[in-house]
Structure 1
Amino acid sequence: MFGEIIANGPHIPTKTVEGATLAKLESEWNEADVRLIELNCKAMSTLYCALDPIEYNRVSGCDSAKEIWDKLEVTYEGTNQVKESKMNILVHEYELFVMKKDENISEMSTRFTNIVNSLKALGKIYTNQENVRKILRSLPKRWEAKMTAISEARDLKVLTLEELFGSLMTYELEMNSKVEEEEVKPKKNFALKSSHHDHDNSEEERDEEEEIALMTRNFKKFLKKKKGFGRRFPKKGENKGESSKTETPTCYKCKKQGHYKNECPQVNKEKMKYKKKALKVTWDDSDESDSDNNSSDNEVANLCLLGYINESNISEDEHAKLLSASI
């Protein structure tokens, strides 16, 4: 009843005299006129009771409920131009609505409901199906499995917005519980083990491993070269057997004939000289070690001998013999 008074304005009793419509005097009012006029007064009183003192002072000079309502409407909603501007802003927010990164389902539903209700107050109304589809499209990629399940299992024409939010909240609780369980699980043992290693010992071990690897590579190179060492190809026009029988061997060390370099007396003297030096180093190292580590000392002595030989300038054949003597 109040809606008609506020929308259409107060009732004014009238009468028709000689074809003209005139307002009735108060003494001419009938019972229906009095009831309609009282209804306008009741509507004004209801509006006054709902306002605070500041708003009451703004509308206290109004003569009807419609006038009060129109004044309040312009104050808070603005003119038609202001309403249209607000509606455009809200429609833009509705179309670009997405779930924020650090936002949960409850916060997202509150934000979406505020936009929908504001649009409804301005005269823009979306159907329930449009709202449901909008919420599903606004979910991030990690919700893709749940979004697909809802779209296939439920009829979006019948599904209400409240049911959709309830289903999403349930799925969110399950996801959070799984994340908490994964965080509680202990870390792997290898991380704890690495933290207890002594830094100095690990550096020494790495240095030893690098030295052994370098010596091994040098020894392999030496073996590859040794396979083709000492080969002599026959001259052009002679056979291999004839050249080996007729030619006299020449030493590359002393340039004398009758023997090879490995049989040269000068080479043997130098060989003994270097061997004594190398063995002297190994004897000194072995005296300083304990009797329980004989096997490891032998390996160290051999490595020292190998490193010393690689640094010298003697021939490859002498390398091989010294290595066999050290082993």
Structure 2
Amino acid sequence: MVIGNKWAGKLYGTNTGNLYVTLEGDDDALKGRIHLNDPVFGLVVYAVNGTSDGQGLSLQGEPEKPIEGVELGKLEAKALLNSRGELEGEWTTSIGSAGTFVLFPHDHISEQEEEGDATQEQLHTARHNFGAVAVDREQITALAEEVQGDFKQTQVVVTVLAGTEKSRLLDDFKKALFKDERATVFKIFARERQTSGIDRIVVIEFGPEVNFAMTQGADEAWVLGMLEKLKKSVESLERKYATSFKKFGFGINQLLFVGAIVYLPSLTSLGVRTALMVGVLGIIGFVTWVHRRYLPFAALFLGNKPKGFFAKSFPSALSWIIAVTSAVAATLLATYLQGLLPIGQ
């Protein structure tokens, strides 16, 4: 059973209350119970049947015991797995009541958590930002499996944004078929309750704006060690661009802008200084456009990455061409505006 045996959460809508859901069986033939504690009508237990496709859950059921003077009706509920491993969905009944609900995986509860001992623990968080990356489906699967190795009691969730965002448990992600060749975002999420009552969490995300890994938990040694392991695993996926100096935290655009500011005092008039800044900003804009078009911060493939010498060397070679060309263009512009370049004279 992939979807999980025990879930707890909240119900909203025409009725409200706390939910506890137990499921068993295969994903295409689930059976279980929904326990709803409604503050108005009290405790209601539904016997349910349903199915799961790895992305979500569909349930149908009827109340096990009637409540005197209260009409309950048959229940239908559908939910989708989100990127945090939770189930979010809508419910309706045959008498017209309806609403939304959210469920959290609840397979493992520690005795210390029930006693409230989590307040005695300290939460540790570590984060690392990566440079540009190129990742295909096989590599994101391997990375998710590496994370899964540290999470024995819960399944890793893999989220793919390709037109629409879809979250799948790792086993279902391996079997999923994608019509798109590329994705905009890859995200790996894992959360597991520890004996201290604090969740142990790993998040890895690759996207157009930021590539990062985050670990969190009560055990500082595990938090730091897990992050170091992820850094080593992702290191082989990073692209080395001459236009970005990851070690120093800036790129060719920042260097061009700072160089223009340093050069401004050597120019005599406001008009010439304005021409320099406009020209440099134009070069920066061109560099930014070429980067977005040909050197994305995250090149994410839902199949295999292009192979061969040209495919591997082209991004690095293009980054050098961009860096050298933009630097030469800015230098020639500054030299011309100072009157040291005999063009048009």
TM range, smaller chain: under 0.3
- Going by fraction, where is helix more abundant, 1 or 2? 1
- TM-score normalised by structure 1 residue count: 0.18
- Going by fraction, where is strand more abundant, 1 or 2? 2
Q: Which protein has the larger Cα radius of gyration, Structure 1 or Structure 2?
A: 1
Q: Determine which structure has greater relative contact order: mean sequence separation of CA pairs < 8 Å that are 6+ residues apart, divided by chain length.
A: 2
